[in-house]
Every structure is written in C-alpha cells, then in structure tokens.
Amino acid sequence: MIEKSKNRTKLESAVLTAIHELGGCNDSKKDQSTICPRGVLTGKVLRDWESQLHEKGPDGSTQLAKETYAEHAGSEKHKPTSLQGIAIRAKASKHHRFRNLYKYMNAEALMDAWRKLNKNASSGVDKVTAQDYEKELQSNILNLAERLKTKRYRTKLVRRCYIPKDNGKLRPLGIPALEDKLVQLACAKVLTSIYEEDFLDSSYAYRPKEAVAELTFKLQYGIYGYVVEADIKGFFDNMDHDWLMKMLALRIDDRAFLNLIQKWLKAGILDTDGKVIDPDMGTPQGGIVSPILANVYLHYALDLWFEHVVKRHCDGRATMIRYADDFVCAFQYKSDAEKFYRVLPKRLEKFHLEVAPEKTQIIRFSRFHLSMKRTFIFLGFEIYWFPDHDGKERVMRRTARKKLQRACREIKDWIKKARHTEGRQFIVGLNRRLRGHYNYYGLRGNLASLERFYDWATNCTYKWLNRRGVNANLLRGMR
C-alpha cells in the first residue's frame, strides 16, 4: 500500500527515480535535474495528486478532497459511474486518480461483458463452456456480482496451453475460467476508458493495420534515414508485478479494484503436465485483461521515456511506433540511432525486461539506398524502399515471407482436413479464412502477396476436392 508523508509518498520517490531516468542516454555534462525536470510528467502527476487529495474547507483549512464521480464531479447526488463519464474525466484531467471503480463490477457490467464475450473460446480449468453457463445465465451473473460485492470472489487456476511459433518454438498461452474472463472483460473496459486518453499517439495498442499504415507514412514523408527494429524478449512472462501496480496507482485510487487485478496476476497456472505454477512475475498471454495491462506497463517504461527524454537528446528527428511489445524507432542521424540502440537495454533492465538480440538491429533505411536487403519486419509485413511503377521511390510493404508460408501451410492443412465436408459448407469455411487473411494483410501495395495466397488456396482446393472424386465444377465460380 502507499504510505503518505507530508508532501511525498514512497510511490512518488520510486517513480521519480525510475520512470524518467535517462537510462544512460545522457552523454552531456548537464545535471540530471536540469535534463529531466520533475514536471516532465511524473512531477505534474504527483503535484496534481496533492491538489486532488487536499482541498480547502469552508474555514480555509486543508482537508481531504470529497470523493467525486466521473460524470457529476462535486454533485451532491452521486450517480453510478459510466464508462463514458470515466473517459471524459480522464481526458479532462490527465492526473486525476479515480476512486470507486470497483463499484462498476456489478451485474449490469457483467451482463454487458457477457454479450461481448467470445462464446466459442476454449474453456478454462473448470471446463465450463459458454453454452453451459448460459443455461442459468441470470442467476449465474447475479451470483458472480454478489461474490464480487462481498469480496468472496476467488480466481481459478489459469489453464496453460502451447501454440507453435514461426521459429519452431512454442508460445505459452493462459486460458482463464469463464467467470474470470467475464470479470476481466468488465475490468478491461474500465481500464481502457482511462488509459486510452493517456496513451501517446505512438502507441497503437492492438490495432496492427493502423500501426503499419502510420509507420509507412512517417518513413515515406519524414526525413528519417535509420531504423532501429526492436522486440522485447518474453515480455508477457517478465512484467514486474510491483512496477505494474505502482503504475496503475498513478491513475487509480481504489484498493479493491487494484487488489482484483493483483489476484489475476498471482493466479496459479496449471501446466500441461499437471503441475501448478505460482507466478511471481508476468501476466498470462491470452488473458482478456493482459493487453491493456501490457500497454500500461510499456506506456510508462518505454513510451514516455522516448517522448520526453530520448527525443530531447537527439540531434535530429526521431519517432517511434509501438504495437504491444513490438516497436520500431526511426532516426534522422546514425549517431542518434546508435545511441538509442546502446541505452535501450539499460532502460528496459530497470523494469526487468530485456531486448531480443536476434530481433533488434539498426538498418540504413532511406530513399537513397534502395535495396531489398535493407528491409525490416513489423507486425508480419516486410517494409522496404523500392521504385513504384512510375519509377518513384516509395516505402513498400508486403506480407513477410515466413508469415505467407505459414498461412499457405495452414490453409492447405485445413483444406485436406475439410475436403469431405458438404460443398456449400466447405466454400463458406474457405471464404471465411480467405477474408480473415485479406482483412489483416489487405494494405495498399500488397496485392501480389494476396494474389499468391489466393492462387495457392484455389489450387489446393482443386487438388484435394478432385482427389475425393468430386467434380471440379463445384468451384467454377472461384476462377
């Protein structure tokens, strides 16, 4: 818990020394207090805490500020806090600490979360499916809301499973129980309402197409000549719980709400061999609340540092685009890129993170150095400079080779497995998979990769349907 002194808290001291430390970026002889003034970000937050927490009473004395609700700040008749009201308050006051968020974990919020929950997702350790839960939906929701209200809610073990990665390794996923998913979804909506107003423009949360499009635009029309491609090694497994709770406390002053998040962080993990793992760091990759927590963590650990410290020490222009734990930084000058490449591991180490060396590199990236060898991969796209049909240099993007090969392999396996399905049902399933691929990779300039994938799917379909003895006219409309 946060222990308050007269003008400062333990959390304030911790944040002041780490959130805005240079991490080795300062090569000049300037005093650190001059380079990183307290008011860059954290000082403003903490000074505003004091103004929020202490107000003048009728007699002029200082007293604790009365609790206000997001929609009706200071009104006598308190009304329930809404997500829209939280977002408005978060946007109006960047340093406001929200209270009574736990009250939002009620039956109405849980029912709304149920409507948006993926009913086809895998079940957790209790093996309760959405269809089973829906049979007594009303009573189940009311019972869950009552347990939350009376603090009798307990998280269940997280079921671990593994999925293959492109490099041949396995990626661990955590699948919470159904009721945990419901509460996490309701909690994630509250957190999103607060932090969407705080996240910088460089953070694209979980919007990959927007991130790739914005990066392409900046590289095309900016004056950047060097790119630092970076990836954080095992990010979701190495998030520090103490740091995360301190970061959340900068915006949330609700012990019950923070304890709820901490329960999910500390929840045991049931591995495939039957062993139960008690995590002391990290958050399950696959949990509904994990993405927003990951973005909050990197918002303070990386985004603000780059925006308020790194840019100030660059001789030229610098920009960053981040999507979850994948980010790309572009610099005008090589010296700035090398300096950032050198201090980045030191910065991440303060938050118990490390870069993946095999995925981190400096690339000469300029319209004056056209080459297919000068490419980097971001969110499944290869990005490179190349002349267009008119001979003009442009930043091009295409589906990364490994991603395209994997997509072709997966759709081929599905076609082989589903070839005995009834004709119309087979075509519906095939079109669904094609549309999913197009929706992600369907960006301007990537037509050749999309056509290659389509031709592969069509040829595989003809091959495997003909092998089962079906007339090829079944797919007459596909060509």
Tens of pLDDT, residue by residue over 421-439, are 888 899 999 999 999 999 9
d(CA 216, CA 394): 9
Name the nearest CA neighbour of 48 among 38, 35, 57.
38
d(CA 74, CA 144): 31
- Mean pLDDT over residues 281-293, rounded? 89
- Mean pLDDT over residues 195-203, rounded? 87
- Mean pLDDT over residues 82-99, rounded? 90
User: What pLDDT is attached to residue 472?
Assistant: 52
Mean pLDDT, the chain, integer: 81
Least confident of 163-167, 190-194, 279-283, 471-475: 471-475
- Of residues 347 and 35, more confidence is placed in 347
User: What pLDDT is attached to residue 387?
Assistant: 83
Least confident of 194-198, 320-324, 388-392: 388-392
- Mean pLDDT over residues 80-93, rounded? 83
d(CA 78, CA 459): 64
**Using H for helix, E for strand and C for coil, what is the string for 166-195?**
CCCCEEEEEECCHHHHHHHHHHHHHHHHHH
Name the nearest CA neighbour of 306 among 344, 363, 361, 353.
344
For residue 6, name the pLDDT band (cuts at 50, 70, 90): very low
- Of residues 405 and 356, more confidence is placed in 405
User: What pLDDT is attached to residue 53?
Assistant: 33
Q: Where are the beta strands (DSSP E) in 9-65?
A: 54-56, 62-64
For 399: left if phi > 0, alpha if psi spans -120 to 50, otherwise beta; the answer is: beta
- Mean pLDDT over residues 118-122, rounded? 89
d(CA 58, CA 76): 16
For residue 81, name the pLDDT band (cuts at 50, 70, 90): low
For residue 28, name the pLDDT band (cuts at 50, 70, 90): very low
Q: Where are the beta strands (DSSP E) in 324-441?
A: 326-331, 361-364, 376-378, 381-387, 393-399
Tell me the pairing of strands 62-64 and 54-56. antiparallel
